[in-house]
Structure 1
């Protein structure tokens, strides 16, 4: 039997935020066994804790959707770091995408993204994107649709109103057309600026088994690339944003995005949030 813990991440309120399964003692598990356990939990992500390759680091981790392994994800990083530290500390996680340092202070964990967002050329046209979200084209803001990669990859579309954001629903056959136009990327992050340095978003990724995600740390990190591309960041400086996600799902989540820029280029991206333990138990080894 393996010990596991369930945390709600990007919240300090139980039964909100994004649920996460943390499985301990995973050194001897095969990839197939981890995938089976992740499919059993059927949460957006499950993280497995292993002995680090470098003893100077806190842990080696592997992260799984219900359908596949992923190289990096934000809410597992935040939840796992808080679980391992549970106090003010510096945690370093060995993830497939690279080393992820996490600073924990007063119950809030902040990670530095392992990769700077990289723009991808393949993007759908606005009409197809709108149709994929079940919206008329007029519900999209005039800013360009973005496609950014940094481990995972996401499509970014700014909407015109909160009402439009609330009406988003994945719709076929346009959604398949979006995936085809973007080279296979099916994760869509729809967002809207709601005030000075405030953003509300929704993230959909059906191929990963995630109809909608209550809080997506990796999409928040890569949003830095979109914001820079559409002129939402100063050429040089540090800018912080407060983000809300999961509102429409009844699982409101709070995330903080901080971006360092220099001469128009992104130098570093950090994402912060809290987490609260919900359950602990044991699970059979497949």
Structure 2
């Protein structure tokens, strides 16, 4: 029998049992693709990560990310959390890590407290912002279980966006609609069938203004995530998209997510214009929860 060590932690929070849960296998050599997928399904979290030696020795590690049903090219809270785990083992002594992922290289800046302990990390999305088409309000509202007039279109229609291979539909909504939203699985399936621009995938990132910050919720029931308490790979394209809509060269924005689930999460984003396009970052704190081993 073979055993593989794992740890779990809560990401984008400084309070245990808040934020988004993550399982990390820090030494995954010897696991097959099928075993990684089976373990991710067994943990039944939004994502589980598996750490392997880097293809390029100049980088810190190769990280594979699986949700309940498929491998992901990039994801935010798994990148932040995996970086935190690797830092506990001594990697990143210079304050940075470089993680190889399917979508590209994810650069990490570690956060430390006054005593030098690593408390969290900020990651850079591996690709510039890429915008897809606007999507019909009625279909997106049906997916979110809200009336069409709950979607705010003064600045933009529901818009497909990504910066690491995970397209998200960014949707500005009213305060009442954000509170009332409930994903409708049938509507998600109908939308995927009717809207070829979605490429067979659909995740909704609903947001509204809340003073100087944003409040957000994310629904991706087609991958088994009915609601996600913190979604870094949606926060970064949202930060980039909002910069795109305005005239500034750079911006920073805090996003509060997961409140309705009882797992409040704080995602701290930045976005900036570069010669390659708009690039974004997201950062947050991490808290350890469990450790153990999987025996296969």
TM-score tier after normalising by the smaller chain length: over 0.9
1:151-162 → structure 2 map (5 Å cutoff): 151-161=165-175
CA distance in 2 between counterparts of 1:105 and 1:54 reads 25
Cα displacement (A) at 1:225: 4.1
In structure 2, distance between residues paired with 1:241 and 1:208: 28
- Aligned partner of 2:201 in structure 1 is 185
CA distance in 2, matches of 1:225, 1:93: 21
Equivalent residues of 1:234, 1:261 under 8 A apart: no
CA RMSD, aligned part only?
A: 1.7
Farther-moved stretch of structure 1 (96-105 vs 81-90): 81-90
TM-score with structure 1 setting the length: 0.92
Q: Please list the CA deviations of residues 146-165 of structure 1 after superposition, one character each: whole Å capped at 9, or x if unmatched.
A: 1013311111110022x210
Matched, 1:95 2:101: yes
Match of 2:48 among 39, 46, 49: 46
Q: Does residue 188 of structure 2 align to residue 175 of structure 1?
A: yes
Does residue 137 of structure 1 match 2:137? no
Query: Residue 128 of structure 1 corresponds to which residue in structure 2?
Result: 139
Structure 1 residue 172: deviation in Å? 4.9
Give the whole-Å Cα distance in 2 for the aligned partners of 1:88 and 1:74: 22
Cα distance, 1:199 vs. partner? 0.7
In the TM superposition, residue 185 of structure 1 has moved relative to its aligned partner by 2.4
* Aligned-partner Cα distance in 1 for 2:140–2:59: 42
Contact 1:124/1:178 (<8 A) preserved: no
* Between 98-107 and 10-19, the greater mean CA deviation after superposition: 98-107
Q: Residue in 2 aligned with 1:57?
A: 59
Paired residues in the alignment total: 278
In 1, the alpha carbon distance for the partners of 2:7 and 2:247 equals 41
- Counterpart of 1:31 in structure 2 is 33
The reply on whether 1:280 has 2:291 as its aligned counterpart is yes
Distance 2:187 2:24 in 1: 35
1:135-181 Cα deviation digits (max 9, x unpaired): 111111123111013311111110022x2101111125432232232
CA distance in 1, matches of 2:55, 2:94: 24
SS at match of 2:237: helix
- CA pair 234-78 structure 1, distance change in 2 beyond 3 A: same
> Secondary structure at 1:131's aligned position in 2?
helix
